[in-house]
Amino acid sequence: MKKSLLKFVALAVALAFPTGVFAQTTETKSSSEKKKSTNPVTGSQSTSTETTTETKEPGKKATTKKKAKKKTTKKGKTTTESSTKMKTETEPTKAPEPTKAPAK
């Protein structure tokens, strides 16, 4: 009887994990900003794009910022600059509080 009960509990736990009973949620936010400008004197055009992605999980936060700048001159010369910054924050895990023995 104990073995069949133990098998049943093991099967229930194995089925509970993929169905999301113990799953934790992840929240993702993304934003993008694009700017175009033209220099009237030189005739060069610039395009700047900035993308920010923020992911939150319980105990962890990750932020990624991407910047790209493209400049085209009147003569057709193109210059591209890009950068990526990643930042990850992790909350320290809390130690369980010690249990107190009941007073006699």
**Residue of 48, 57, 67 whose CA lies nearest to 29:** 57
pLDDT tens for the 104 residues of the chain, in order: 777 777 777 877 776 665 554 556 778 899 999 999 998 888 899 999 999 999 988 788 999 999 999 999 888 899 999 999 999 888 776 656 666 666 66
Q: pTM of the prediction?
A: 0.56
Concatenate the DSSP letters of all residues of 7-73 into one string.
HHHHHHHHHHHHHTSS----EEEEEEEEEEEE-TTT--EEEEEEEEEEEEETTEEEEEEEEEEEEE-
Would you state the torsion angle of the CA atoms of residues 55, 57, 61, 62, taken in this order, to the nearest 10 degrees? -40
**Residue of 40, 48, 56 whose CA lies nearest to 88:** 56
